[in-house]
Structure 1
Amino acid sequence: MEQFEYTLENFIAGFGWFAPLLFVLLHLLRPLLFLPVVLVCVIGGVLFGFFEGALLSFIGLSLMSLVSYILVNKFPKFKEKMSELKNKMFANRKISVGQVMILRIMPFVHFHLLSLYLMEMTQSRKEYMYYSMLGLILPAVIYTAFGEAITEFPWYVTVFFFIMLLGIYMIVGKMNKVRLASAVGNIKKRA
């Protein structure tokens, strides 16, 4: 293991200041290479350490969010494909911004699909990027710090972790429905 770490350090040192740039580029190429977000963030933690790895992952994921926005708005076929995927995975289901942020933490949930949800909930690119970047902080930090540990957990700990995230997702959804019902009730009282 020490030899592996030594080899990685030499590899990164060989690229110098270009290494962080290559890592951010890896985040942008990740969908084309069919690499999960978790894996790329874990690689960032191994190669650059926690702080720099999390920061670089956050930058890479934020740029990927911007690319998603551009793809959906410039290429109607891409938006159409993402809408079809949305209808297959979450047919007739509205989710809140908070739920999107929780889903971002879950590994293997389609990145561009969640971006599409955010685009539909926001009014402008600036608002979309604000919520998108806010929702990328936790995945970048968690995956960089604990990504490798999560993949080494026994299956029952991993299942518990996903059930816990699913529970949080459901609670946020119910809170959103209660807030929406309250707002509708207030509007009806005023009318």
Structure 2
Amino acid sequence: MFIFYQNGVLSYAQVEAIKTFVLGFGIYAPLIFILLFTLAPLIFFPDGILALAGGLIFGFAWGSLYIVLGALCGGTLSFFLARLYGKAMREKLAHEKLMNFQKSVKKHGFMMILLLRLVPLVPFNIISYSAGFSTIRYVDFFFATLLGMLPGVLVYANIGAQSLAFGSHEFYISISLLVALVVVSMILKHRVKKRLEAYEK
């Protein structure tokens, strides 16, 4: 983390800074990118910025793969930090909008995480930490995260990959997909909120 800060990578949200830093490691660039994604939750760095950078650096296909791997590693780290340090960590994160779905995860853990992951408007890290504080099984958390984040990953990776072709037909298609994702996310977010409230009653 000290090295990342010294290079100004995670201290400010600039895709170009991430690209320059990661490519500086040559053949190890994919590993460094995945490591960035893994450690970013420790400082609540926006995962969307890293996802865009992944598409820009590695292209759509490889970028999507590395984003998924990095996000799974980061989500797993957050999950187990919350589970291992429990109460002490919850107090330190009290200022964050942590979610409480203790009751809902008993029977609907997989589905709740899946729905929340489908909503990019809900911070990725908040879901991971909140899941760690709950009683959900890790295997349910893992596969719900994997499936739920795919639409968002593909959209962000595509935008990053097309960013160099600004003004092209493909670029506008990628922007349209992002708008569609946001609209669908807003609808899903409202429904998930109502379902969570219903489960907690």
Contact 2:38 2:75 in 1 (8 A): no
* Residues 33 and 86 of structure 1, relative CA distance in 2, 3 Å threshold: closer
1:51 Cα deviation after fit: 0.4
Q: What do the CA deviations read for 1:96-122 (whole angstroms, capped 9, x no partner)?
A: 33431222x22xx33232124444362
Show the 5 A alignment for 1:1-191: 12=23, 15-32=25-42, 35-76=45-86, 77-82=88-93, 85-86=96-97, 96-103=112-119, 105-106=120-121, 109-119=122-132, 120=134, 122=136, 124-146=137-159, 162-171=182-191
Distance in 2 between residues matched to 1:161 and 1:59, nearest whole Å: 21
* Residues 85 and 173 of structure 1, relative CA distance in 2, 3 Å threshold: closer
Distance in 1 between residues matched to 2:63 and 2:126, nearest whole Å: 25
1:48 Cα deviation after fit: 0.4
- After TM superposition, the score normalised by the length of structure 1 is 0.64
1:84 Cα deviation after fit: 5.9
- Structure 1: where are the runs of 5+ without partners? 181-191
* Residues 60 and 126 of structure 1, relative CA distance in 2, 3 Å threshold: same
Residue 96 of structure 2 aligns to a residue whose secondary structure is helix
* Residues 135 and 48 of structure 1, relative CA distance in 2, 3 Å threshold: same
* Residues 61 and 169 of structure 1, relative CA distance in 2, 3 Å threshold: same
Distance in 1 between residues matched to 2:114 and 2:69, nearest whole Å: 21
1:94 Cα deviation after fit: 6.5
Count of aligned residue pairs for this structure pair: 162
Contact 2:115 2:148 in 1 (8 A): no
- Superposition RMSD on alpha carbons, in Å? 4.0
Contact 1:50 1:145 in 2 (8 A): yes
Instruction: Please tell me the residue identity of whatever aligns with 2:85.
Output: F
Distance in 1 between residues matched to 2:37 and 2:28, nearest whole Å: 15
Partner of 1:187: none
Distance in 1 between residues matched to 2:123 and 2:145, nearest whole Å: 14
Instruction: Please tell me the residue identity of whatever aligns with 1:133.
Output: L
Residue 48 of structure 2 aligns to a residue whose secondary structure is helix
Instruction: Please tell me the residue identity of whatever aligns with 1:125.
Output: Y
1:130 Cα deviation after fit: 1.6
* Residues 19 and 32 of structure 1, relative CA distance in 2, 3 Å threshold: same
* Residues 44 and 78 of structure 1, relative CA distance in 2, 3 Å threshold: same
- Structure 2: where are the runs of 5+ without partners? 1-15, 106-111, 164-170
Give the fraction of aligned pairs with identical amino acids, expressed as a percent.
Answer: 24
- After TM superposition, the score normalised by the length of structure 2 is 0.61
More helix by share: 1
